[in-house]
Amino acid sequence: MLNTYLTIVLAPLIGSIVVGLAGNRLGRTLSHSITILGVTISTVLSLYVFNHHVLNEGEIFNQNIYTWIQIGGLNISFGFLVDNLTSVMLVVVSFVSLMVHIYTIGYMHEDEGYTKFFSYISLFTFAMFTLVMSNNFMQLFFGWEAVGLVSYLLIGFWHHKESAIEANLKAFIVNRVGDFGFLLGIALVLMFFGTLDYAETFSQKDQIIGLTLFGDFSAITVICLLLFVGAMGKSAQVPLHVWLPGSMEGPTPISALIHAATMVTAGIFMVSRMSPLFELSDVALTVVMVIGAITALFMGLLGIVQNDIKKVVAYSTLSQLGYMTVALGVSAYSVAIFHLMTHAFFKALLFLAAGSVIVALHHEQDIRKMGGLRKKMPITYITSLLGTLALIGFPGFAGFYSKDMIIEAVHYSELPFSGWVYFAVVLGVFITAFYSMRLLFLVFHGESRVDKHTEEHLHETAPSITVPLILLAIPSVVIGYFTIDPMLFGGWLDNGIYIDTSHESVAKLKHHFHSAFSLISHSVMTLPFWMMIGGIATAWLFSLYRTEWADVIQRRFKRINYVLVSLYGFDRFNEIIFVRGALKLGNLLWKISDMAIIDQLLVNGSARFARFVGSFIRPVQTGYVYHYAFFMIISLMLVLGWVLVASDYSFYS
């Protein structure tokens, strides 16, 4: 199996290198064929690995391939850990990546950087494979940073746009903040466990119970919180969420890849992988749960006031990542991965459908300038409808099962603040339904607001765009129904996740679960269902029935609207405190260190001191020989006198 795992990882890398170095000579068709072939190989082999490990209950593969770094007794190796959790992630990442690769053929066909873009997205896939298959913290960090680096390149791919450069810098810097905390957490793991290998670390987890840092702080709590800081950066949790909406400046295919299956899911996967450590600290789990709830609720509210088609979907991603994080906090790791999987399919579908609309409208992204597109773009409309129903949790669709399981897991949790968190995630159902259906209604329903010239040439997009939409729509509908039982209660993820017996949310879910069909039949009696119906009705009311009411509400509640439009002031705060603060601090240090200490004291001060000393010595340099002879005699007498005194006239003895 080792050769299989190596091929999964290396196939996209080889394609990326070949196209990156020789893409211009190979041409567009051959370039995209090479990268798509590499990802296709990885996808097929990922399905084979899934069948071997999950369906046929194959043994866990944990093997080091070679020693990467050796420092004293510390060996850091490059190796693979492939269990059921890894197998699920491989299928999700590879399939979504393959759809994005195919979609890119149509979306980027007029772009000058066509071959370079294919090289980048293939490299992105390699980085994510490295991350999910790692068996130690250092390799995890390598994949972690590689994903961040390639995202920087892709978000700023259209580097002729100043907004794209600002967006990729913001993403890079904000993620460095999270990664700094992540690296500190890894350092503490090494300090307390003496190893960076997952298996060795988890086998010693009980030894850290009771140990403290900085006085009375629990060591395991500090480690878990620092690791979670890294997850907050990658998975865009408040307050490190600010980079994600800006990443919409990149081409739509990478928006789908980042927001559906790769970068933003890295944090969710990492915390799930670290479940043996997180289960030792209720404080850390509570923090994770609360941060997730804040993100799910308040980022969802921002989706209501967005008018850029991609940014509506982006804030939806933020909110859904909050739901996954809440599931992690209540120890429902399998539920979090379940929602990660369903979300990957329907969110990739929604992003790519948004891209289809953008291409058809010649890169217009303002939903207020759309409308009535369902007649001209039936495939995009139907797939968007299916993806939207999955997102809002309509009964029977993929998102219905995963989101409802998160809400019920919170309901059964006994952690502090779980009551408030339950309120937040239930209210989030209404908000999600409202902004999602508002988007669907404004883009595809009602009267057309498209300019006449564009509307005359409006038609469905190319098959390279619509085929991936259809293929993603299928799992967006059915994947939840067929996988909820085995993934949550049938043991699919048991060998990759650990849950302490004191945390009973999943156990209670299992006790109350009967079948996937029973969830559908009983859904009309649940609060989330009616919150969803309320959101749909409200969106219809303001978007189609009484469109003028939206303007009235905005004027009536202009302060609340200002808070939402200003994104709660996070960007403003960062601008004033960190950006301007860093500039002012830099100017202050420049004046003190560079100007005062280095220039004035050391450089100019040395010159002034030399001039000052010279002012006393200069009169002696007269140029007359007899003056120099006189000073020589006087100096000789002084030297002889000092010798006589120092020797105490011993030469007379």
Residue 537 neighbours by CB under 8 Å, 6+ apart? none
Please tell me the predicted confidence (pLDDT) of residue 129. 95
First to last CA, the chain: 96
593 Rama sector, left if φ>0, alpha if ψ -120 to 50, beta otherwise: alpha
**Token pair 């400046």: residue:** 249
Mean pLDDT for 578-582 is 87
The residues with which 78 forms a beta bridge, in sequence order, are: 66
pLDDT in tens, 361-390: 988 899 999 988 998 999 999 999 999 999
56's enclosing H/E stretch is none
pTM of structure: 0.90
* Confidence class for position 310, pLDDT limits 50, 70, 90: very high
State the CB neighbour count (10 A cutoff) for residue 20. 17
Q: Partners of 269 in the beta sheet? A: none
Given pLDDT bands bounded at 50, 70 and 90, which one contains residue 73? confident
State the number of CA atoms in the 13 A half-sphere of 190 facing the CB.
Answer: 15
Looking at residue 618, its pLDDT comes to 77
Cα 3 from Cα 48, distance rounded (Å): 13
Predicted confidence (pLDDT) per residue in 123-144, tens digit: 999 999 999 999 999 999 999 9
The larger pLDDT score, comparing residue 484 to residue 600, is at 484
The whole-number pLDDT of residue 649 equals 56
For β-strands 217-218 and 61-71, DSSP reports them as unpaired
Given a cut of 70, whether residue 452 has pLDDT beyond it is yes
Residue 347: pLDDT over 80: yes
pLDDT bin (cut points 50, 70, 90) of residue 593 is: confident
Query: Which band of pLDDT confidence, cut at 50, 70 and 90, is reported for residue 454?
Result: confident
Task: State pLDDT tens for residues 168-227.
Answer: 899 999 999 999 999 999 999 999 998 999 999 999 998 898 888 887 889 999 999 999
- Where does the pLDDT of residue 490 fall: very low under 50, low under 70, confident under 90, or very high at 90 and above? confident
Q: E strands along 179-329, which residues? A: 212-213, 217-218
What gap in Å lies between CA 261 and CA 255, rounded to an integer?
10
Residue 481 has pLDDT above 90, yes or no: yes
Strand pairing partners for 273? Answer: none
Yes or no: say if 156 and 243 are a contact pair by the CB < 8 Å rule: no
Using alpha carbons only, give the angle 133, 150, 236 rounded to the nearest 5 degrees: 80
Dist CA 352 CA 466 (whole Å): 9
Banded model confidence at residue 646, pLDDT cuts 50, 70, 90: confident
- Tell me how far apart the alpha carbons of residues 215 and 235 are, in angstroms, rounded to a whole number: 31
How confident is the model over 399-425, as a mean pLDDT? 94
Question: In b/e form, how buried is each residue of 105-131, taking b as 16+ CB within 10 angstroms?
Answer: bbbbeeeeebbbbbbbbbbbbbbbbbb
Q: Name the residue type at position 203.
A: S
Res 652 pLDDT > 70: no
- pLDDT cut 70: percent of the chain above it: 99
Q: Decide if pLDDT at 650 tops 60.
A: no
Statement: residue 647 has pLDDT above 80: no
Per-residue pLDDT averaged across 560-573, rounded?
Answer: 90
The strand pair at 74-82 and 217-218 is best described as unpaired
Would you kindly state where each structural domain of the chain is located, as residue ranges? 281-565, 567-621, 625-653
Chain segment 634-644, per-residue pLDDT in tens: 888 988 888 88
Residues 6 or more apart in contact with residue 242 via CB below 8 angstroms: 170, 174, 567, 570, 571, 574
Two tokens, residue 67:
């020693």
CA angle 389, 392, 394 (to 5 degrees): 55
* C-alpha span between 129 and 648 (Å, rounded): 85
Q: What are phi and psi of 79, to 5 degrees?
A: -155, 180
Neighbour count for residue 180 (Cβ, 10 Å): 14
